Structure 1
Amino acid sequence: MSRHPEVKWAEREDKVYLTVQLSDAKNPKVNLDPEGVFTFSASAGTDNNLYELKLDLLDRVNVEESKINTGVRSIFCVIEKAEAKWWKKLLRGGEKVPHYVKVDWDKWVDEDDDSGGPADLDMGGMDFSKFGDMGGLGGMGGLGDMGGLGDMSGLGDDPIGDDSEDSDDEEQIKIPEGKAHDKKAEGESTKDS
């Protein structure tokens, strides 16, 4: 019995971003049909569990211009729409979206905020290959240069270091009572000189 990997999606007027989140996928196979049928299969985990996915996208797509990047933790796809228009939803049909398909809020842009430019989404130097050139993904490259992030495994739960406590960099100045006016006046007089 196969399992479903988690999928995140976002869109622009002319493309859809799909991220299949599956760490250490072995023998990933991705297929995209011009009618908008996206299929994925791979094995993963210590037991080599089979993960499969079939998504009937809302509308037609341009397979030749669509791109894919396989990484260690995910497979990222940029799917070019056949016609540049906003979709009302990701999948065709009136059924509820499967629980494993979620909105990718990191890439999401509202229709009225879309600039449509190429700098629209930072791809972080990822090496993309076209779907049309794929006979399977076995020999494709992984993530490209990630901007010098290096090994972040020793940083704990908060790799960015964003503490909710006050930073040591902030200097708090206390003005003794009754002296507030004098300090302000001194500061103003030094600016004028």
Structure 2
Amino acid sequence: MSRHPEVKWAQRVDKVYLTVLLPDAKNAKVNLEPEGVFTFSASAGAGDLLYELKLNLFDKVDVEESKINIGVRSIFCILEKAEKVWWKRLLREDGKAPHFIKVDWDKWVDEDEDNGANDLDLGGMDFSKFGGMGGMGGMPPGMGGMGGMGDDAMGDDFEDSDDEDQEVSKSDKNLEGGAKAEEEHGGASGEKKEAAASI
């Protein structure tokens, strides 16, 4: 019997962010079809338990432009929408979403606030570069999705790195930018506090 990993999602007018939370996933297989069918399977944990997931997304997606980043703690996907419209929900089916699907409030932007300025691009890889991952078929038996691909098949971009290194470097950049912004705005807010205190 398989289990469902926890999934977090957020959207912009042109894309959907999916994060599959599964630390130390082994033999991760991800497939995305243009009709909006997202499938995932991997084993994890001390007993190599099987985790599987099939999501019928609200609308069609552009497989060629979608990206994926498989890390140590999670699998992060940027799914490009076929049509740049705001989805009413993540899944095609009506009703309440399954208990393992949650909103990713860290990445969420309301429809009226979506101007593309807060776009995330973590430099993931295109689904189209994974052979059978885009629902194209033609993969040799046993190599569906990421299954039979070794580290060498992933290219130089991800060689000798894991998501922790990427997160640290990105966090450092964000902290530097945040510190500069805080310095620029911090002085102004400090002056306002002094002015308010003197009144």
With normalisation by structure 1, the TM-score equals 0.71
Q: Does 2:27 match 1:31?
A: no
Question: How far is 1:146 from its partner?
Answer: 2.8
Question: How far is 1:41 from its partner?
Answer: 0.1
The aligned residue for residue 166 of structure 2 is 145
Q: Which has the larger radius of gyration?
A: 1
CA RMSD in angstroms, aligned pairs only: 1.9
Q: Does 2:102 match 1:105?
A: no
The aligned residue for residue 73 of structure 2 is 73
SS in 1 for 2:167: coil
The aligned residue for residue 119 of structure 2 is 121
Question: How far is 1:96 from its partner?
Answer: 2.1
Q: Does 2:137 match 1:130?
A: no
SS in 1 for 2:8: strand
The aligned residue for residue 52 of structure 1 is 52
Distance 1:145 1:28 in 2: 19
Q: 1:122 to 1:89 in 2, by over 3 A?
A: closer
Distance 2:58 2:42 in 1: 24
Distance 1:57 1:23 in 2: 24
Question: How far is 1:121 from its partner?
Answer: 3.4
SS in 2 for 1:23: coil
SS in 2 for 1:10: strand
Letter aligned with residue 132 of structure 1? S
SS in 1 for 2:166: coil
Distance 2:52 2:129 in 1: 21
With normalisation by structure 2, the TM-score equals 0.69
SS in 1 for 2:112: helix
Check the 8 A contact 1:22/1:75 in 2, yes or no. Answer: yes
Distance 1:46 1:92 in 2: 34
Q: Which sections of structure 2, spanning at least 5 residues, go unmatched?
A: 132-144, 173-197
Distance 1:60 1:45 in 2: 33
Distance 1:27 1:52 in 2: 12
The aligned residue for residue 8 of structure 2 is 8
Distance 1:146 1:96 in 2: 32
Distance 2:168 2:45 in 1: 28
Q: Which sections of structure 1, spanning at least 5 residues, go unmatched?
A: 151-183, 185-193
Structure having the larger proportion of residues in helix? 2
Check the 8 A contact 1:38/1:55 in 2, yes or no. Answer: yes
Identity of aligned residues (%): 63
SS in 2 for 1:146: helix
The aligned residue for residue 82 of structure 2 is 82
Question: How far is 1:94 from its partner?
Answer: 1.5
Letter aligned with residue 71 of structure 2? G
